Structure 1
Amino acid sequence: MKIENISDLQVLVHTARAGTLTAAAHALGITPAAASATLKRLEAQLGARLFERSTRAMRLTPQGQTLLDYAVRAFELLDEGESLVTADRGELVGTLRVASPSDLTRSTLLPWFDEFLALHPGVQLSLSVGDRPLDVMRDEVDVALRYGALADSRLVARAFALTNPLLTASPDYLRRHPAPRVPQDLVHHNCLIFNRSGRRHRVWRFAQNGQWTEVRVNGNRSVDDASLAREWTVAGYGISLKSALDVRNDIREGRLVRLLADWETEPYPLHALLPSGRFVPARVRAFVDFLALKFEALLAVA
C-alpha cells in the first residue's frame, strides 16, 4: 500500500523538525490526536516505523530519515513548480519565511518589509525576530539575516553590509560619568553586555594605528536581545558596543553619543543566509535582491 495523501507527509516533516507531535500539530493547525492518527496511517501504509517514540521526544528511525529526505525534496519541487507557473503571470506568490535580528528589524527592516509586501500582494510574510541564531538548515526559514562571521559551509551567504560596531552612551549617562578617553577607561564604566550564541561578549577590541588592544568589560546588565541592549543604553544605564546600523538613528537624533570615535573596532558583517541544497523560490530571490538594493542605498548616504 502506498501513501494516499502527500499532505500527510507534512506531519512527518514538522514532527522531525519540532521533535514532538504536539509541536508539529500546533504548527500545522491541527489537534495532536489528528497528527498522531496521520502518522500512524503513514506507518501502516508503508509498513515501516518512522519514529522511535519516548515520553520526551520522537526520534527518526533510519526508514523515517530516508522518507523525510525525499518528502522535503518533494515539497521543494512543488514549490519550484508553483514558482514557475506563477512566473508566467509575472507574480510572486506564497509564504516568505524570514528570520532577522531584533534591533535591525525594528530600526531598519520593518518599513522595507511593508514596501516589499505592497509591491507583491501575493506574498505573505512569516517573520521570526530574535538574536539567537536559528538552524537555517533545519528550521522553516527561507532566508536568515545574521550578523557576524560565518561558520556553516552548508549555507549560501550574500553580504549586505560590512560595518564596524560603535561605542555609545546617552547624554544623561555622560552627564553622570566622564566619557572614556582610551579603551582602558571602560573598566571604570558600567558596560552593557550583549550575549551572542549563549556567551557573554565581555572582551571588546579596539585598534589605533594598526595596534589592537583588548579590554575586558563589566556591568550590571547582560541580555541576549540586541534591541533591549540599545534601549538600556538610550535610557542611560551604561555604555554599549553595537552595530552601526542599529544605533545610527539614535546618534543622528541625539539620543546616543558616539565614544572613542578615533578608535577602530572589528568589522561586523551582515549576511543573508540560505540553505545551499534547497531550491530558492522566485519570491525569495526577489526579496534578497530587494534588500541588497536597500542596504546599498542606505550605506551610500551613511
Structure 2
Amino acid sequence: MKIENTDELRLLLECARGGSLTAASKVMDITPAAASAMLKKLEARLGLRLVERSTRALRLTQAGEQLREHGQRALELLDEGLALALEADPVAAAAAGGGRGAAGEVRLRGRIRVSASSDLTRQQLLPLFDSFLAQHPAVELHLSVSDSLLDIYKDEVDLALRYGQLADSGLVARRLVELRRMAVASPAYLERHGRPAHPSELAGHECLTFRMRNRHEREWRFHARGPLGEAAAGPALRVAVRGTRSTDDGAIAHQWALQGLGVSYKSELDVRLSLARGALVDLFPDWLGDPLPLQAVMPSQRFLPQRVRALVDHLAQGLAAG
C-alpha cells in the first residue's frame, strides 16, 4: 500500500477543506469526475475508506483524518525541501525568482501556524513575530491567540507557546525561558487598600483569579527567596485567595490589575513592561511565586520544518535578551 503521487494527498486535503469533491476539483483544476475517480482509486489501493459521502457534503473518516494530518505536514516538508534544493542552485533559483538572503542564508518559505496565550502575545511576542517576518518575508504566520489549550494535532498547530509543564508526553517541547509568577498590583490599588507586607495578607485583599479548563484557581503559592535569589528550601506558603472578578483570559486579568481593581498573580514575563514603567508593582520582592517556564510545544522534532525551528530559535533569543 502506498501513495503513488502527491496529487492524491492534495486531493484528500482539499476535500477536507472544501467539504466536497466539487470544491476540491475546482482548487486542483480537474473535473469532479476525475477527482472522484482519483479518490476511489486511492481508497481501493489502500484498502481503506477515507471519506463518508452524502448528497450534500463529504467528511473524512477516522482513517482519512489520520492520513490528512500526516499528509499535510508531509506536503509542507516536501515543498520546503524543494525550495531549499532550488535555492542551492543559483542558476535555477534565479530562473525561478528565488535566491538567498543576507550573508548567503537560504530563504525560508511556507506557513507557520502558531498558538499562544493572549497576554504573552500582546506583551512580548508581537514584536518578535514582526522581526522574524521582516527577516523571512516568504514565511506566512497564522496566529491563533487564546488562553484555551488547542489540540496541536487536530487544530493543525505547528508551534504552541504555553506556560507550565508539558502534560502530553507525545509532544515535543523546548523550554524557552525559566520564569516565575508574581503578585502585582497598581499604585492606585495600593493607595486605596494598603500594601500587604506578607503574602499571607492577600487573604484580605481583592484578588483577580484565573480559570483554566474549568478549574478555578483559588490558591496562590509563594517560596521565600534565598540569599542568592533562589527559592529557599522548604514547603511553599499556600494562600487561599478570593475576589469578585475571575477570568479565563490573561490579558483581561492584566488590564484589571492596571485599572486598580485587584491583585493579580501573573507570569513575570507578562507584566515585565508594566513593572518597568511603574504601572504595576511587585508586591513581594523577597518571595518567589510558583515556577512557570515558557515552552515551545511542537508535534514532532523528527519532521519539524526548518522555518519552525528558525522561529523557535528567534523567540528564544529575543525573550532571553529581555
Q: Normalising by structure 1, what TM-score?
A: 0.81
Question: Cα offset for 1:50?
Answer: 2.8
Question: Cα offset for 1:67?
Answer: 4.1
Match of 1:258 in 2: 282
- Are 1:231 and 2:255 counterparts? yes
Instruction: Give a deviation string over 1:137-187, Cα, whole Å, max 9, x none.
Output: 222211111101111111111111111111011111111112222222112
Match of 2:84 in 1: 84
Structure 2 regions of 5+ residues with no counterpart?
89-99, 101-105, 225-231
Percent identity of the aligned residues? Answer: 45
Question: Cα offset for 1:99?
Answer: 1.2
Match of 1:18 in 2: none
- Are 1:11 and 2:14 counterparts? yes
**Contact 1:76/1:279 (<8 A) preserved:** no
Structure 1 regions of 5+ residues with no counterpart?
16-20
**Contact 1:167/1:260 (<8 A) preserved:** yes
- Are 1:149 and 2:165 counterparts? yes
- Are 1:108 and 2:108 counterparts? no
Letter in 2 for 1:153: S
Letter in 2 for 1:266: D
**Contact 1:43/1:49 (<8 A) preserved:** no
Distance in 2 separating the partners of 1:227 and 1:261: 23
Distance in 2 separating the partners of 1:198 and 1:37: 48
Question: Cα offset for 1:84?
Answer: 3.1
Distance in 2 separating the partners of 1:70 and 1:207: 44
Could you tell which deviates more after superposition, 64-73 or 160-169? Answer: 64-73
Instruction: Give a deviation string over 1:242-280, Cα, whole Å, max 9, x none.
Output: 000111111111111111221221111001111126621
SS of 1:176's equivalent in the other structure is helix
SS of 2:137's equivalent in the other structure is coil
Question: Cα offset for 1:82?
Answer: 3.4
Instruction: Give a deviation string over 1:11-48, Cα, whole Å, max 9, x none.
Output: 35558xxxxx49xx8xx9x99xxxx9999666544356
- Are 1:218 and 2:242 counterparts? yes
**For 1:1-302, what aligned pairs fall within 5 Å after superposition?**
5-6=7-8, 7-14=10-17, 21=19, 44-45=40-41, 46=43, 49-51=49-51, 60-62=61-63, 64-65=64-65, 67-68=67-68, 71-72=71-72, 74-85=74-85, 88=88, 89=100, 90-208=106-224, 209=232, 210-276=234-300, 279-298=303-322
Q: Normalising by structure 2, what TM-score?
A: 0.77
**Contact 1:169/1:256 (<8 A) preserved:** yes
**Number of residue equivalences:** 283
Distance in 1 separating the partners of 2:183 and 2:71: 48
Letter in 2 for 1:75: L
- Structure with max Cα Rg: 2
Match of 2:96 in 1: none
Question: Cα offset for 1:211?
Answer: 3.7
Distance in 2 separating the partners of 1:179 and 1:97: 43
SS of 1:121's equivalent in the other structure is coil
What's the C-alpha RMSD, in Å, of the aligned pairs?
3.2
